[in-house]
Amino acid sequence: MAQMCESVRRAVAVAKVRLDDIAAIGVATPGTMDIPGGVMLEPVNMPLWKNVPVRQYIADTFRKPTVFQNDANAAAYGEFWAGVGRDARSLVLFTLGTGIGCGIIVNDFIIEGAHSHGAECGHMVIEMTNGRMCGCGQPGHLEAYASAIAIAKRTNDALAADLGPSILRTHLLQTGTFDESDCQEIFQAARSGDALANRLVEETAYYLAVGAVNLMHTINPDMVVFGGGMIATGDWFLERIRKHVKRLAFPVPAAKTLLVYAQLGSDAGFVGAAGCGRQLWMKSNKS
């Protein structure tokens, strides 16, 4: 928490303004949360953070109006406000990293849900029978198939089951396993023509297309945006997702919904949190 506060001070210093000039603060964290209450509840990937009053701590430290938001929601708002979606009215953002985060923006409004669990689309069920186990403890979720960890696990399973030739075996012999940091190696092998790697990447594109189409048929957004470390693979991977979306979606949304990569990179969450702080300030001044 002290580190979070220090990040605020550094941001103010780099901007060459004073804390007195700051009207509001936006802060975003991962995990399950009570957004109106400003509390992190029990994030799966941060087991020591339980019922932490993040917003109140920041507000008390700086004595500024403070807004609290899910990190994927904040990233989506950042792309909507200042990134690839700045000319759109609605978008869905999938952040492809260790897990799969998601945020949904409709007409400048973040879909938080009645219980702060809206837009947890990385945990939509895409496999009903014998689904792969997700890190949250439930089977069949999108995150269990298309996150960085999932791709590594699927690669290990495929190499164990398929004894055919693959350049991925060289890595396996050297390290004993693939982990989430090795995704780019898997994608590079696919681009080099390795049949097993190409199959894994094609399946990943299909799973992400299923997730996108589910949201297209539910929200009907102007665009679906993909962000996170996986998009470093380049446009060829996005084209694979688009191909599957065109095959799976209704004709009109398939033709009219833009599928694009995010623009703001790792800054999206910071920008979006600031945008949420700006929203808070604007609402308080209107009232």
Over pLDDT 90: what percentage of the chain? 89
Q: Inform me whether the pLDDT recorded for 287 exceeds 70.
A: no
Rounded to whole angstroms, the Cα distance separating 134 from 150 reads 8
Tokens linked to 113: 């849900």
Tens digits of residue pLDDT in 19-72: 999 999 999 998 889 999 999 998 877 888 899 999 999 999 999 999 999 999
The pLDDT of residue 164: 82
pLDDT at 173 over 90: no
d(CA 146, CA 251): 25
Top CATH class, 2-74+267-286: alpha beta
Cα 41 to Cα 51, 200, 202, distances in angstroms: 4, 35, 36
pLDDT of residue 103: 97
Is residue 186 within 8 A of residue 229, CB to CB? The reply is no
d(CA 244, CA 228): 20
Residue 205 contacts residue 240 (beta carbons within 8 Å): yes
- Tokens 């495929």 locate to 158
| Cβ proximity of 44 and 35 under 8 Å | no
Residue 178, H or E segment: none
How much is the pTM? 0.93
Residue type, 147: S
Q: What number is the average pLDDT over the span 129-146? A: 96
Burial 61-85 (b: 16+ CB within 10 A, else e): bbebbbbbbbbbbbbbbbbbbbbbb
| HSE value, Cβ hemisphere, 13 Å, CA-based, for 229 | 16
Is the pLDDT at 15 greater than 90? The verdict is yes
Distance (Å, whole) CA 96 – CA 60: 34
| Among 202, 151, 199, CA closest to 177 | 151
Residues 6+ apart with CB under 8 A from 96: 146, 147, 148, 208, 226, 227, 228, 229, 230, 231
Domain map (residue ranges) of the chain: 2-74+267-286, 87-262
Domains 2-74+267-286 and 87-262 share a fold: yes
What confidence category does residue 142 fall into, taking pLDDT thresholds of 50, 70 and 90?
very high
Distance CA 150, CA 132 (A): 9
* pLDDT at site 43: 81
| Phi, psi (rounded to 5 degrees) for 229 | -60, -25
- Give CATH for domain 87-262: 3.30.420.40
Grouping H, G, I as helix, E, B as strand and the rest as coil, residue 143 is helix
The structure tokens 């947890």 sit at: 120
CA distances from 269 to 86, 116, 204 (A): 15, 17, 25
pLDDT tens, position by position, 214-254: 999 999 999 999 999 999 999 999 999 999 999 999 999 99
97: its two tokens: 């990293």
Other beta carbons within 10 angstroms of residue 135's beta carbon come to 17
Residue with tokens 């940091």: 181
Share of the chain above pLDDT 70, in %: 100
